[in-house]
């Protein structure tokens, strides 16, 4: 009888520990998802700012290589960051050639 109570206590305690661990994993997943979304939005906004200033600079130099500011360029700069913006300008310069 003594061992039966111990086994029941051990099972309840293990179940409680497993439940706590799964709650921690869920919270970490939510934090990770939020972090990814915020990081994407920041890169997209900074990418748009870079595109705007580079377009202004190139227009001032008389070079007609403008990258448009649209949802596709936002997705590209948000996904790839500065290399994505460089890729957009590389495609634009390649089309001019």
Amino acid 10: pLDDT: 54
Cβ neighbors of 67 (< 8 A, separation 6 or more) are: 51, 54, 55, 73, 85, 88, 89, 92
Residue 78 structural domain: 67-96
Domain-located, residue 1: no
Residues 72 and 56 in one domain: no
Full DSSP string of 67-91 = PP-SHHHHHHHHHH-HHHHHHHHHH
pLDDT digits (tens, 9 = 90+) for 2-20: 555 555 555 555 555 555 5
Residues 17 and 53 in one domain: yes
Domain-located, residue 6: no
**Full-prediction pTM beyond 0.85?**
no
d(CA 90, CA 24): 44
Domain-located, residue 4: no
Domain-located, residue 5: no
Residue 25 has pLDDT above 60, yes or no: yes
Residues 40 and 82 in one domain: no
pLDDT digits (tens, 9 = 90+) for 56-95: 999 999 988 889 999 999 999 999 999 999 999 999 999 9
Domain-located, residue 3: no
């Amino acid at each position: 009888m003594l061992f039966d109570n111990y086994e029941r206590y051990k099972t309840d305690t293990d179940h409680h520990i497993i439940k706590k661990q799964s709650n921690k994993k869920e919270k970490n997943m939510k934090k990770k998802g939020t972090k990814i979304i915020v990081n994407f939005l920041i890169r997209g906004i900074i990418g748009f700012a870079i595109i705007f200033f580079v377009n202004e600079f190139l227009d001032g130099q008389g070079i007609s290589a403008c990258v448009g500011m649209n949802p596709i360029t936002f997705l590209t700069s948000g996904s790839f960051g500065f290399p994505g913006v460089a890729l957009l300008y590389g495609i634009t310069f390649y089309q001019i050639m």
